[in-house]
Amino acid sequence: MRFKQVMRAAVLLCGLAGAMMPERALAQCDSPAMLTDAELTQLRNRAEQVPFHRGLLWQVEKEGITSYVFGTMHLYSPRHSASMRRLRPLIGEVDQVLVEFNAADMAQLERRLTTDIALITIPDGPSLLDRLGPEAWDKLTDKLTPYQIPPFMAAKMQPWFLGFTMMTPPCAIADIQAKRPGIDRMIETAADHAGKPVASLDELDHLLPLLAGDPLDQQVEDLRWSLMLDLPTSFGDAGLVDFYFSEDVQMIWENAQQQLAHLGTTLPAEDSQRLSGYVEELMGDLIAGRNHYWMQRLPQALGAQPTLVAVGAMHLPGENGVLNLLQQQGFTVSAVSMSQP
């Protein structure tokens, strides 16, 4: 798996919490955070220094117009049912819902990927097998096994697209195939039933270059590098579900950072630095960068009519988080309990 592109895809579609696993597969995928009491305290102390570090549901108000911001988890969990009981009345209160990428735009993305062959395949020249070499190719095909992508097909695919595919935890494949949705889609469905319009904050022409913008040679080189180092494709999986549903949003990232730091100590200095650069780029482009992109229209939308905004939970906290950016635009931001009022 190409580390940078897999990480980009995972964050794009699932937020950093996108590596979270569905509850149906807890025995396989979910596990408690492997932290000592001292480590947990240290991470909490760091998290508490971050603006809006804790909480999933927030009220934002300006000039008498009240809206809500909710942090989502994009993959399925049975616990989303309880969250939806809290959110449905709020959907009834607002005039519109904004999500990262609504169903119509996601369908457009899928059509683009299946019709623009040059976007996802290597149209000419050596195959991916030839470009990677036999050792890296064997490692890649081993990693592709759970996704049922035949090697002859993978050999013609661009690395970014393989990363896009493999960002899904293998244990979540059954839920996706059964069309069990994450809470973003549950919110969109509830809004449709309530007759409320659902619009996207992202735009396809802005998103696609974040995934597919690197030259093919760079994609292949990054893929070979990550394969030969056996780099994992997600960090901080342990405890993610519990951190999310306990609303300890920033703890998801703090735990991931700790695991990244530990991994860095096992690598040569040059590789460790390269890994850190990829993560910094990841957060800059797909979290902070998209937050600022959304702010081109979000304050105006919230200032015009009551709105429910549903975006990946990791978009909420931090100096460059959606909540802090809205507060800087003059909105009053207040935490709201996820318990029934």
What pLDDT is attached to residue 271? 86
User: Alpha carbon of 54 to those of 37, 51, 176, 263, 336: distances in Å?
Assistant: 19, 9, 28, 26, 11
What pLDDT is attached to residue 13? 38
What pLDDT is attached to residue 168? 66
Residue corresponding to tokens 């207040």: 334
Query: What is the residue extent of each domain of the chain?
Result: 3-335
What pLDDT is attached to residue 2? 41
What span, in angstroms and rounded, lies between the C-alpha atoms of 174 and 209? 29
Tens of pLDDT along the chain (341 residues) come to: 344 444 444 334 333 333 322 222 333 345 667 778 898 899 999 999 999 999 999 999 999 999 999 999 887 888 899 999 999 999 999 999 999 999 999 888 888 878 888 888 898 899 999 999 999 999 888 888 877 788 998 999 898 888 777 766 666 677 777 788 889 999 999 999 999 999 999 998 888 887 777 888 988 998 888 888 877 655 545 567 788 899 999 998 888 888 778 888 888 889 888 888 877 877 778 889 999 999 999 999 999 999 999 999 999 999 999 999 999 999 999 999 998 76
Q: What angle do CA 333, 77, 142 make, to 5 degrees?
A: 115
Q: Find out whether 337 and 275 touch, Cβ atoms under 8 Å.
A: no
What pLDDT is attached to residue 234? 53
CB 228: neighbour CB atoms within 10 A?
14
What contacts 46, CB < 8 A, 6 or more positions away?
Answer: 254
**Residue from 209, 244, 309 nearest 19 by CA:** 244
Amino acid at 240: L
| Residue 229 token pair | 């180092």
What pLDDT is attached to residue 237? 55
**Phi, psi values for residue 178, rounded to 5°:** -85, 0
What pLDDT is attached to residue 14? 35
